[in-house]
Structure 1
């Protein structure tokens, strides 16, 4: 039996079906199909939401969830996990030099807390400076706190990179 996984990437698109046939992953959506030979697989990154396969310049994302009726997400891990295990096993034989890794959990929660506390501090600083009659000094100091908060927000996308 060939391992397969299917998911609807968008409520407006047809269902996409990924099939592992031999040493190739075949992606079918409607009448279109694409083939990805596992011998060219460079990276396989597995997250809790899906997997990203890198084939040099080409990338393929396989989500673990699908859209049910309406816009409700539906969990498809019962077909996703066995399919990904079969892909990893086949990739180990076809492309022994490929980097197979799981994504580390994001440790962004402390950064978000720092951002919230610094924003609250900037608001409190503005309030106390206005009550003391030093509005311009309060704006100058609060702007510096908010600048550091903006820098912390800029770091968030890179928190899960290796």
Structure 2
């Protein structure tokens, strides 16, 4: 299976420096254009899975791909608990949240385990297909750890978000 991972497009919160977490979020004007570009870039996929949070769903909808689209709650961003919607700076240092949950929320290890569960399911159901996943930064760190052998979760979280137009993995 080929898995292509893309983060959701830019949101109003991203532009304002807000950590959306489990809040729905809304794409900005720039994000809407990025979503359309994603659709052009990823025409070769067989199926799309996304987080069920609005910003990821909206990204897939605007991409306009003519393949099945499934929403999976396991692909949500880390739940920042009481810090959902707070300024991003209030999440720092995030490395302290790899094993310890945010207040009333999740840890990055919790997201890792949900991502691991998701991967087990799609490997079983879509083994010979090209799967596009549209989700969030915590899921990308999890995929990089599980599939990319790019380091520990602590190392990946410490590196932060380094956007690019997708990551590809052979499973």
TM-score bracket for the superposition, by shorter chain length: under 0.3
- The structure that is strand-richer by fraction is 1
TM-score under structure 2 length normalisation: 0.24
The structure with the larger Rg is 1
